[in-house]
Amino acid sequence: MAPTEDEHAANGNAHVHADGSHEEHLVPRLTLIPHRHTKVIHLIRHGLGYHNVAGQQNHEEYKSWEYEDAHLTPEGWKQALALGQHIRSLGTAFRADAIIVSPLTRTLETAAGAFGAGRWQRGDPQPPLMVEQTEVPGKRAAMHAISAAGCPPLIAWEGCREHLGVHPCDKRQPMRDIKPSFPAVDFSLIESEEDVLWRLEHRETHEEIKRRGVRFLQWLMSRPEQHIAVVSHSSFVFFMLQAFGHGAAPRVQGELHKWYENCELRSVVLSDEGGAHDHPDPLHFRGGKHVL
């Protein structure tokens, strides 16, 4: 009797002959691509913000101007500093040649807390990642100035901002108000003084976020760095990742398409099978006949 479909499934990639013997067929669900067409991307969501606390209690609070470009709460700062301790504990297992950060306050604060080198002191040779900030009850937590010593380049980029529109917490402050607070951050790629992306009357659709996310990853792929950390936002990262992995096994899809918690770090490998981005590969040794 021929094996049933269930028996085939139980045998994995085996073919069952009439005499009951098995023949294995190697059909791996793997993808191979030259190293120079890949990058490692460390995706990080910001720490807990004041808007998160208010919005979890009442979703309508996300529309409140009280939380425009919201700051991290004290708990959010604890989360960012704990992430920094985790990253340092990884040693050489974690590498970031550059840190791309959304230019909203909570992501800039998270990046400073996670990648900064502790308290900045007067006389340090580098400007601080973030200047000291005083407490404004219910709106801003107190935090000492944070050192940029040993930090990879931290580059602000509008393309990885949160879900745009309607919610004031996702509206960027003017650059004249942001730059002085983060002296060691590179804001040169921010093209407009005012926030021209956020609109009160229109909130991005999920499809619009997906398209923006794909454009963002294409931009990352065009950059020279091989390992890149991205400090961004939950909705943006979630819907960006929804554009990928639909042919993967359910377990892999579940990992890729899972919502990010505050200060969660998950890493992915970005590959360009189209070969549109041509980067040299220092690992490639061209063998063959050599004259010594």
What is the rounded CA–CA span in Å between residue 255 and residue 253?
5
What is the reported pLDDT for 83?
98
Edge to edge, the sheet with strand 98-101 lists 154-156, 98-101, 227-232, 38-45, 265-271
The two three-digit tokens of residue 194, written as one number = 């005012």
- Is the confidence at residue 11, as pLDDT, over 50? no
What are the tens digits of pLDDT across the range 208-267?
Answer: 999 999 999 999 999 999 999 999 999 999 999 999 999 899 999 999 999 999 999 999
Among this protein's residues, is 206 annotated catalytic? no
Asked if residue 3 has pLDDT above 60, the reply is no
Instruction: Collect all residues with Cβ–Cβ distance below 8 Å to 47 and sequence separation of at least 6.
Output: 72, 73, 75, 76, 77, 78, 79, 80, 83, 106, 109, 110, 113, 262, 263
β-strands 98-101, 22-24: how paired?
unpaired
Q: For the whole model, what pTM was predicted?
A: 0.87
Averaged pLDDT of the chain:
90
Catalytic residue among 46, 51, 71, 167: 46
pLDDT digits (tens, 9 = 90+) for 15-56: 566 666 655 555 667 888 888 899 999 999 999 999 999 999
Beta bridge partners of 193: none
Burial tier of 1 (Cβ tally within 10 Å: 0-12, 13-18, 19+): exposed
pLDDT of residue 287: 86
> Is the pLDDT assigned to residue 202 strictly greater than 60?
yes
Average pLDDT of 168-193?
A: 97
Give the pair of three-digit tokens for residue 261. 């918690």
Question: Catalytic site residue 8?
Answer: no
The whole-angstrom separation of Cα 257 and Cα 126 is 39
Sign for the CA dihedral angle at 164, 187, 244, 12 comes to negative
| From 162, 163, 204, 225, the catalytic residue | 162
Query: Which pLDDT does position 241 carry in this prediction?
Result: 97
Lowest mean pLDDT among 8-12, 117-121, 272-276: 8-12
* Fold (topology level) of 35-271: Rossmann fold (3.40.50)
